[in-house]
Structure 1
Amino acid sequence: MKGKILEFNEESRKGVISGDDGKRYALDISEWKGATIPRAGNKIDFSANGENAEAVYADANMTNGASKKIAAALFAFFLGGFGAHKFYLGYNKQGVIMLVTFILGFILLGIPSMIIGIIAFIEFILYLVKSDEDFEQTYVVGNKPWF
């Protein structure tokens, strides 16, 4: 069965999974088959045994945060003024704000466009300095659209 980890406590080494069937299942670290510690938001594949999850694997189709991180950073660097990195990460409203401000900013002597360019460059740096896990938790799972 497919599902998603809702929460995982590293101290108790237990968590909760939301299955695609709408039910919740208990996750124990002894059933985790992945190389890294499970994190909230991870998409998974598991077997249900009553209210417990068994043989829990990270979903092979899950988007890798590292690949999103590099692509988002490159979009922020080369096309950041147009909000391309925002669109790539799924933040369409923020992407439109950046795009419109950048394009219409030239009417006001380019000052708003320069500010948008600076914001995009700051986001480029932030994307690069975050670890892959932090990036994924902050921007992919956590849906934090700005900085």
Structure 2
Amino acid sequence: MANLNPTSNPNKQLLAGYCGILFGGFGVHKFILGYAAEGFMMLAISIVAGTFTYGIALIVMQLVGLIEGMIYLNKSSEEFVDTYFVNKQGWF
């Protein structure tokens, strides 16, 4: 069972935020938060659709990851836990 104590999740919040900014196009930040379906979706869009669109889909997914990473880092610990662990909000 995951520990939902807001004081124990700042490392996960920082890791997901930084990975969203750096590797967001591949959905790494989604996997860190436990959203495997959303992570695979971002990964598949980046690789498969990126191949057919000459990288445009990868750029779009990277922008989504960048925005989500900034959102993660700008939330307080309590808001972060409430939004992504209690309410299970998968996107933005």
**TM (normalized to structure 2)?**
0.86
1:42–1:84 CA distance, 2 compared to 1 (3 A): closer
The equivalent residue for 2:17 is 73
The percentage of aligned residue pairs carrying the same residue is 37
Residues 1-147 of structure 1: matches in 2 within 5 Å? 42=4, 64-104=8-48, 105-147=50-92
Q: Is the 8 A contact 1:72 1:88 kept in 2?
A: yes
Structure 1's consecutive aligned runs of 4 or more residues displaced over 6 angstroms after TM superposition are: none
Q: Distance in 2 between matches of 1:133 and 1:93?
A: 24
Q: Is the 8 A contact 2:4 2:81 kept in 1?
A: no
The higher relative CO (CA closer than 8 Å, separation ≥ 6) is in 2
The structure in which a higher percent of residues are strand is 1
**TM (normalized to structure 1)?**
0.56
Structure 2: runs of 5+ lacking an equivalent = none
Larger Rg: 1
The structure in which a higher percent of residues are helix is 2
> Which secondary structure state, in structure 2, belongs to the residue aligned with residue 79 of structure 1?
helix
Q: Is the 8 A contact 1:65 1:140 kept in 2?
A: no
RMSD: 1.9
Q: Distance in 2 between matches of 1:79 and 1:85?
A: 8
